[in-house]
Amino acid sequence: MTRKADRDQIRRQNRSIVLQALRRNGPMARIDLGQATRLSPATVTAITSDLLEQGLILNLESEEPKAPLARGRPRALLKLNPEAVYTVGVRLAVNSIDLSLVDFSGQVVTEERLRFDTASADASSFPDTLTEAIRLFLQTAGIGPDRVREIGVAAQGVVETETGMVAWSPAFAGRKIPIVGPLHEAFGADCHISNDTNMITEALHWSDPSRYSGTFAVIMLDYGVGMGLYLDNRLFSGASGTAAEFGHANHLPDGALCRCGKKGCIEAYLSDYALVRAASHLPEDTDPVTIKAGVDGLARLIALAGSGDTDACNAFYEAGRVLGYGLARMIAMIDPKRVVLTGAAMRAFAFMEKGMWEGLEDALVADLRHNFTLDVMPWNENLIRSGLIAQSMERLDMDFLGLETGSPGSPDREEPSDGPETPA
């Protein structure tokens, strides 16, 4: 039984390698697939035959011009069948629900941004709000719920992937918001939820695996402070899914009031409301809810710093020092080869950088300070959606057997068990 399980796993892995190659490169001939995946011709033939039978890929003739003396038909190319199945990507943020319908080729078919009232959204009201939003979205797109295989959700705040809940988030008035259960009950699709910064991390790994692989960390400075971790080539979310809560690690006991209700969190010194509070000389126990920050507040503060305003410059400098201390703890614990900083606050990095390096120098021994590379990345909110798509496609490639084969548990046709030959 162990040998059969191993063979099944090899088949699933090889099949995923082929589908990923087609998704990355577009239509390919079998011989080119073999070169790209480093799988044997026999394995490629067996896998692609199954995928054609299952309706997951399609045959098309190459449009390459034939040589003058060439005979026979043009060589056949294989491509993904975009209509084989669909997924829905959902991003939950303060007052907004971003929806994306994605086909099997990984392309966004349509998208929509909806508004909801964060101040009144709680465990009793929001599941119905989200379910109805997705139902209407699919109806408008002309896609029946039965054609949606998976719904992936990315949310701000503390997300429990094991329970399918948002434990706490600035996007909701209440706590313990159930997401996965209600969506699965309403649509019958597989449902997954993750922290939004985890999805940025996943997107970077998908887009440039040679650069973003092994062990690296992503820190997002925005409305809040988030973190994603890749450890030994795998996204790490901990036992319950709440790992890497960088923003709500304590920086200073009994320190500044955080939006989560605790005192001294890193977020209470680095987020938009923290920066506005510091620059305005408001008491550290000022309730973040009463502080006018957000995109506009942060933009005003950046403009002030750019004009040389002392209060704004000092606020960014001190925030940089807090960031440096936080980075020092993280680097000392996990030894990442790369750290990525992103988020809307990266527009102000020039005013934070000096303080950050000073904080790192104060808190981290010199030997460790030279072990990582720092990437400062302009904010692109589409990275969250890209991460949702990458993760969803990876699951489909391993498990989805097509519309004509019945349930996901249907047996695969046997194929050569030579295994993956060091896949690309």
188-243 per-position pLDDT tens digit: 999 999 999 999 999 999 999 999 999 999 999 988 899 999 999 999 988 888 88
Residues 168 and 294 in one domain: no
Residues 334 and 240 in one domain: yes
Residue 412's pLDDT is what? 41
d(CA 87, CA 189): 9
Residue 415 lies in a domain: no
Residues 332 and 361 in one domain: yes
Query: What is the model's pTM?
Result: 0.86
Average pLDDT over the chain, rounded to an integer: 90
CB atoms within 10 A of CB 325: 21
pLDDT band at 369 (very low <50, low <70, confident <90, very high): confident
pLDDT at residue 245 greater than cutoff 80: yes
Write out the E strands in 269-350.
338-342
- Percent of the chain's residues with pLDDT above 70: 90
Residue 149 lies in a domain: yes
Residues 42 and 188 in one domain: no
Residue 135's pLDDT is what? 98
> Higher-confidence residue: 237 or 132?
132
User: 221 lies in which domain range?
Assistant: 208-376
Residue 61 lies in a domain: yes
- Percent of the chain's residues with pLDDT above 90: 79
Residues 174 and 282 in one domain: no
AA identity, residue 87: T
pLDDT band at 370 (very low <50, low <70, confident <90, very high): confident
Residue 20 lies in a domain: yes
**Angle at alpha carbon of residue 131, lines to 129 and 135, rounded to 5°:** 115
Classify burial at 297, counting beta carbons within 10 Å of its beta carbon; exposed 0-12, middle 13-18, buried 19 or more: middle
Give how far Cα 21 sits from Cα of 43, 71, 76, Å.
14, 29, 16
d(CA 285, CA 277): 10
Residue 424 lies in a domain: no
Mean pLDDT of 320-336: 95
Residue 251 lies in a domain: yes
133-174 per-position pLDDT tens digit: 999 999 999 999 999 999 999 999 899 999 999 999 999 998
Mean pLDDT of 28-35: 95
Domain tally, the chain:
3
Residues 290 and 359 in one domain: yes
Residues 234 and 366 in one domain: yes
Residue 72's pLDDT is what? 55
Residues 174 and 311 in one domain: no
398-415 per-position pLDDT tens digit: 999 885 433 333 334 334
d(CA 383, CA 228): 13
Residues 182 and 259 in one domain: no
Residue 301 lies in a domain: yes
pLDDT band at 294 (very low <50, low <70, confident <90, very high): confident
Residue 406's pLDDT is what? 38
**Which residue, of 34, 63, 80, is where some domain finishes?**
80
Please, which residues have CB within 8 angstroms of residue 320's CB and are 6 or more apart in sequence?
351, 352, 353, 354, 355, 356, 357, 358, 359
Strand partners, 102: 87, 108
Looking at residue 352, which CATH number applies to its domain? 3.30.420.40
Residue 222's pLDDT is what? 86
If residue 7 lies in a helix (H) or strand (E), which one and from where to where? helix 2-25
pLDDT at residue 396 greater than cutoff 70: yes
Q: Which two tokens stand for residue 270?
A: 């680095």
Residues 260 and 178 in one domain: no
**Which residue, of 50, 65, 80, is where some domain finishes?**
80
**Which residue, of 80, 99, 117, is where some domain finishes?**
80
pLDDT at residue 74 greater than cutoff 70: no
Q: Which one, of 211, 222, 208, 157, lies nearest residue 339 by Cα? A: 211
Residue 416 lies in a domain: no
Residues 148 and 55 in one domain: no
Residue 9's pLDDT is what? 87
If residue 358 lies in a helix (H) or strand (E), which one and from where to where? helix 349-363
Looking at residue 56, which CATH number applies to its domain? 1.10.10.10
Residues 128 and 45 in one domain: no
